[in-house]
Amino acid sequence: MARIDATLLDRADALLRELPVTRVVRLPHPGIRLHAKMESENRTGSSKDRAAIWILREAVRRGEITRDTTVVESSSGNFALSLASFLDALGVPFVPVLDPNVNAATERTLRRLCARVEKVTEPDGTGGYLLSRLARVARLRAELPDVYWPDQYANPDGARGHYELTAGELLADLGRIDYLFVGVGTGATINGLSRRLGVARPDAKVVAVDVDGSAIFGAPPARRLIPGIGSSIRPPLVDTARIGEVLVLSEVDEVAGCRALLREHGIYAGGSTGCVYAAITQYFAGRTGPEPVVAFLCADGGEPYADTVYADGWVAEHLTPVVTKGANA
């Protein structure tokens, strides 16, 4: 076991204390009382900051990360951005392992913050790149002398970050929650939020939102293009989440949901948030009677998706064309 680096622990604790509290905003919506927690207001623009800082602080506290360590992680983008930002502040080198679906803006930022960036090019036979990225991580762990691998797909500390921070704030803001809709990738968010809700609001229903081509809820993995939710494996963190219902939408729904959220509420969000919004809209369509309190996370902002989800040309070329209004070409 490595020696605990007290200076590093102080810095990690300070980063954790300095995290912003993200706003919960009310969105007027037919039939429901809808609220969005704006995780896009985090330091690096996504909900992944909560998992990343908790994982890093705990690893430093256990002596698994010192200033001699290199952190290596596979990520489709947002988690890598969070790690890159916090590790830069901590003075610890980080090697992200990316794949071709990474947003161009995310890759540019990572190349500015990290001396070394690895990018796999070979699909892994499941239609995605996850297994190729994990194989590259394994190679780097064998190659470099003192490596810490956060393993975001299985690390309970990531879920703990959402349990303590994201869920803690949401509960402080909303006295009542009847439904919580959560997009699923590694399962850290739904694990942390659903377990905390199970304690504090046991009657609340947690609805998991996934996308076609994802293997998380038992379907065979297939090609997916929009990073964020979905996975070509079933992450172990999903097994211990408290999930009431699962909705699986298409990438076309993701695009339509993003554009509807922008038009109807002025929120310019990333693909996963659009998918969750589409799920909520479909789920409560035509609902009458008492209005339930419904919450979801705006997991990241739309700008990194400007050339994909929000670009008609990209959508027409890569997905079944959708009828759009007010979107950029």
Ligand X SMILES: Cc1ncc(COP(=O)(O)O)c(C=O)c1O
Residue 71: closest CA among 124, 60, 62, 61 = 60
Phi-psi region of 266 (alpha: psi -120 to 50; beta: other; left: phi over 0): left
Candidate residues 272, 301, 305, 310; the one interacting with ligand X per rule CB under 6 A? 272
List the one residue from 45, 187, 213, 302 that touches ligand X (CB under 6 A): 187
State which of residues 186, 194, 214, 308 lies at the interface with ligand X (CB under 6 A): 186
- Residue 166 in the binding site for ligand X (CB under 6 A): no
- Asked if 230 is part of the footprint of ligand X (rule: CB under 6 A), the reply reads no
45 interacts with ligand X by CB under 6 A? no
Contacts of 8 (CB under 8 A, 6+ apart): 60, 65, 66, 67, 90, 91, 92
Between 189 and 218, how does the x/- string for binding to ligand X read (CB under 6 A)?
A: xx----------------------------
**Gap between the Cα atoms of 294 and 181, Å rounded:** 8
With respect to ligand X, which residue has the nearer C-beta, 5 or 161? 161
- Output the smallest distance, CB 144 to ligand X, in A: 24
Give whole-number Cα distances, 170 to 24, 62, 155, 244, in Å.
Answer: 7, 29, 22, 19
Smallest separation, CB 109 to ligand X (Å): 14
**Closer residue to ligand X, CB minimum distance, 14 or 104:** 104
Binding of residue 103 to ligand X (CB under 6 A)? no
Tokens 């002025």 belong to 266
What is the distance between the alpha carbons of residues 275 and 261, in angstroms, rounded to a whole number?
A: 10
Which residue spans within the chain are E strands per DSSP? Answer: 24-29, 32-37, 70-74, 94-98, 118-119, 147-148, 179-183, 205-211, 245-249, 293-297
Smallest distance, ligand X to C-beta of residue 57, A: 17
Q: Is the dihedral of CA 303, 309, 310, 316 positive or negative?
A: positive
79 makes contact with ligand X (CB under 6 A): yes
The amino acid present at 69, given as its one-letter code, is T
With CB under 6 A as the contact rule, the residue among 107, 210, 254, 300 that binds ligand X is 300
118 strand-pairing partners: 97
Interaction between residue 132 and ligand X (CB under 6 A) = no
Q: Report the DSSP beta bridge partners of residue 300.
A: 46
166 vs 53: CA distance, rounded Å: 12
CB of 299 to ligand X, least distance (A): 3
Nearer to ligand X, 206 or 229 (CB): 229
Q: Among 128, 150, 183, 304, which residue sits at the site for ligand X (rule: CB under 6 A)?
A: 183
Residue 106 near ligand X by CB under 6 A:
no
Could you say whether residue 229 binds ligand X (CB under 6 A)? yes
Burial of 222 (0-12, 13-18, 19+ CB in 10 A): middle
If one asks whether residue 46 binds ligand X (CB under 6 A), the answer comes out as yes
- With CB under 6 A as the contact rule, which of the stretches 30-38, 187-195, 241-249, 259-267 interacts with ligand X? 187-195
- Among residues 219, 207, 189, which one has the least CA distance to residue 278? 207
Nearer to ligand X by C-beta: 229 or 280? 229
State the minimum distance, in angstroms, from the CB of residue 1 to ligand X: 28
Q: For residue 302, state whether it binds ligand X (rule: CB under 6 A).
A: no
Q: Which stretches of the chain bind ligand X, using CB under 6 A?
A: 46, 48, 78-79, 183-190, 228-229, 270, 272, 299-300
